[in-house]
Amino acid sequence: AQQERMKTCNTKAADKKGDERKTFMKECLSNEKKTYDNKMGACNTKSKGMKGEEHKKFMSDCMKATA
């Protein structure tokens, strides 16, 4: 997940340099993490009652789905 966030933010920061890039990356990674955490929470809520492989597969599919 961290690598995906880095990849996304690096793409968005392509035209920035130096301190501007550093500040942008920090904010971008923070925002991307919040989005990921929110998505994780929503998927966990939807998976209530599931166990084992069923839960694992659901979470994988849910996290891959576009928000």
pLDDT tens-digit readout, 6-63: 999 999 999 999 999 999 999 999 999 999 999 999 999 999 999 999 999 999 999 9
Q: Which DSSP letter does residue 48 get?
A: T
- Please state, in angstroms and rounded to a whole number, the distance separating the CA atoms of residues 13 and 45: 33
Q: How confident is the model at residue 66 (pLDDT cuts 50, 70, 90)?
A: low
Cβ(13)–Cβ(24) under 8 Å? yes
DSSP code per residue over 4-28: HHHHHHHHHTTT--HHHHHHHHHHH
For position 44, what pLDDT does the model report?
94
pTM for this model (two decimals): 0.70
pLDDT of 2 > 90? The answer is no
Tokens of 29: 């990674």
For position 49, what pLDDT does the model report?
94
